[in-house]
Structure 1
Amino acid sequence: MDLNPKYDDYYFPVKAAEEQTGHAGYLTEGQIAQVHQLRMMLESEGYTDRLDTLTLLRFLRARKWVVEDSKKMFVDTEKWRKEINLDGVLPTWDYPEKPEISKYYTQFYHKTDKDGRPVYIEAYGSIDLTAMYKITTADRMLTNLAVEYERVADPRLPACSHKVGTLQETCCTIMDLKGVSITKIPQVYSYVKQASVISQNYYPERLGKLYLINAPWGFGGLWNYMKGWLDPVTVSKINVLGGGYASELLKQIPAENLPKAWGGKCECEGGCENSDAGPWHDPEHTRTPKWQQQKDDGKTIENKGSEIETPAGEKAPEAAPATDAATQPATA
């Protein structure tokens, strides 16, 4: 890779765990040139944020390395961010209705899988949009979704990368379809469609593995039909499982990291769905997210590790110097 000191200030390893062409540390000369081209095109149009190499690589991979298409996707994302004032909302976002919302729609991040990815769990069985919209609004739900994606990018994935010593850019997702009946499908589809637009259009290349569990009768046949429409790489990441899913999940997720409700052994105090447990709360592996750091008229952002709050409310120690893996360019 050819890292740019102006944008690439990573404290975590930036080489992918597996050798995959087009991924960090395994780029061809032509792909390195395409990263430079995309960055220059964006800079020429006045874009200065999120031009780091890892971000540009995700957009290039998402658009099959067609630079013009990748540029359009990036620009569309920046316009969307501005429309919802995401950069302004993110540092102070508060979602106090989450415990009530969780009664109707469970969604949370919890620890990591065996590869070091964050585990994300959603359960659709009790979803009730009518009840949820008495507690919150569709706009707030979608804004919260965007905020969570930002928190995946920083601090969750950097902390996971630092802990395992290799770059982690994706999540291991469990979608529980238990209780999703024919009558609920329209409600589930309505929200999931909106959420999918945000995921696919503005946060590309974040899916590592997806487990669809408790799939209802007949879903397997539908899935076999749907696979023909999808990219083979995407299909390879998706596993459709019925009620006997636990053994498959445990092949990918350590039992001590998987909540007991989904076949594991973890029982966090106050409920796994409320703990947000993971290395992103460990001062050894995390740093203050950039969106919490103060920018001083465009000058270099100061990394204030001492301002990280631990779950116990204690101040974390000063941020350690970047590791060699973070400061040395990986080979192409």
Structure 2
Amino acid sequence: MASDNPSMKLDPKYDQYDFPTTSPNKQSGHPGHTTPEQDAQVFQLRMKLESAGYTERLDTLTLLRFLRARKFDVDLSEKMFVDCEKWRKEFNLDYLVRNFDYSEKEQVFEYYPQYYHKTDKDGRPVYIEQLGGIDLTAMYKITTSDRMLQNLAVEYEKLADPRLPACSRKAGSLLETCCTIMDLKGVGVGKVSSVYSYVKLASAISQNYYPERLGRLYLINAPWGFSTVFSVVKGWLDPITVEKIHVLGGGYQKELLAQVPAENLPKIFGGTCDCPGGCALSDEGPWTDPEWAKPAKWQEAPAKAEAIDNEAVNQGTIQDGAKSTAAVPTIEDTTDEIKAAPALE
């Protein structure tokens, strides 16, 4: 039984963690709550990947996430991992996370705020997106679709390290997911197509390449009829995923505040937090607190790659195709890879 394994078995060759490794989620397959069969599947997956030439990201926590995402089917998990590594290489991600400069961030956030801000009551990072102000025509005078996706991927890397490790240290147990708030206020019929084109692509990247990162998802200010549509869609989703998603209208504050402390929730959503310079740009959380924060592992050794032109910010649109930076695919190239994206995980 999973409950017979109260702590995770670590392999010193692959598992060098400086944060707790036992999950508070006691469901089977989560770290510290695995069966002997699941431990064997981790070993089998690692051996298959090593024999194929992979040497990075073979630690137990990572492999367990890929295995959970594919119901512990080792072959499907291997394919997912290999596809992810291929994407990372094509996206030049190991170099990007160290060197990407999103200098236009404040301007982009005037239309599309996307940010991590403090923690929920379970200690997880809170991630917030406000979709109502998206104006792709205006935004692509400031940035490109490629750079928006680069920023998205870099932020996912920073979620994995240093954000989640810092939160785990503070909580005293392993935290692998975040609490997401997506504000749909202002997303009317006229904006649906342009918003959907980018959000669909961004969501597919998270599902394909960053599995098992969704803890809770609050869709707030959902427009009329959205709940009806979702009631149909959720029939296609895994029941475990459905439990994580909460569709709320304008009266969302009570339920949201039951999960996120008022002092951690921006005032715009009914909380009391009002960070100097704005919550969206503060990046406040345990990951910036010296008591819990440590340098990310990816900071230890520089990755070699072609230089990224951080000044080329006004080149493309979804309609025309953006001019790619070195080794980074365009939005059209990436779309070909993710047409068969699975449901939320």
TM-score range for the pair, normalised by the shorter chain length:
0.7 to 0.9
- Is it true that 1:53 corresponds to 2:65 in the alignment? no
Match of 2:93? 86
Kindly provide the amino acid, as one letter, of the partner of residue 263 in structure 1: G
CA offset digits 1:71-99 (Å, max 9, x no partner): 00000000000001100111111101000
Kindly provide the amino acid, as one letter, of the partner of residue 85 in structure 2: E
Q: When the two structures are superposed, what TM-score results if normalisation uses the length of structure 1?
A: 0.88
Match of 1:158? 165
Kindly provide the amino acid, as one letter, of the partner of residue 137 in structure 1: T
Match of 1:178? 185
Alpha-carbon distance in structure 2 between the residues aligned to 1:143 and 1:212: 24
- Is it true that 1:66 corresponds to 2:66 in the alignment? no
Count of residue correspondences: 296
Match of 1:318? none
Instruction: List structure 1 segments (4+ residues) > 6 angstroms apart after TM superposition.
Output: none
- Is it true that 1:118 corresponds to 2:125 in the alignment? yes
Alpha-carbon distance in structure 2 between the residues aligned to 1:220 and 1:64: 28
Shift, 1:123, TM fit: 0.5
Alpha-carbon distance in structure 1 between the residues aligned to 2:32 and 2:181: 29
Shift, 1:295, TM fit: 7.0
Kindly provide the amino acid, as one letter, of the partner of residue 114 in structure 1: K
- Is it true that 1:262 corresponds to 2:250 in the alignment? no
CA offset digits 1:138-162 (Å, max 9, x no partner): 1111011000000000000000000
Match of 2:150? 143
**2:66/2:80 contact within 8 Å kept:** yes
Q: 1:204 aligns with which of 211, 215, 218?
A: 211
Alpha-carbon distance in structure 2 between the residues aligned to 1:48 and 1:294: 15
Report the more deviating stretch, 143-152 or 283-292: 283-292
Shift, 1:287, TM fit: 1.1
Identity of aligned residues (%): 68
Alpha-carbon distance in structure 2 between the residues aligned to 1:175 and 1:200: 16
**2:20/2:169 contact within 8 Å kept:** yes
Shift, 1:164, TM fit: 0.6
Unaligned runs of 5+ in 2: 1-7, 304-345
Shift, 1:294, TM fit: 2.4
Shift, 1:178, TM fit: 0.2
Shift, 1:63, TM fit: 0.5
Aligned CA RMSD, in angstroms, stands at 1.0
**2:95/2:302 contact within 8 Å kept:** no
- Is it true that 1:248 corresponds to 2:252 in the alignment? no
CA offset digits 1:188-216 (Å, max 9, x no partner): 10001110111000000000000000000
**2:9/2:32 contact within 8 Å kept:** no
**2:116/2:126 contact within 8 Å kept:** yes
Q: 2:135 aligns with which of 125, 128, 131?
A: 128
Match of 2:112? 105
Unaligned runs of 5+ in 1: 297-332
Shift, 1:286, TM fit: 1.7
Alpha-carbon distance in structure 2 between the residues aligned to 1:276 and 1:215: 26
Shift, 1:18, TM fit: 2.7
Kindly provide the amino acid, as one letter, of the partner of residue 276 in structure 1: D
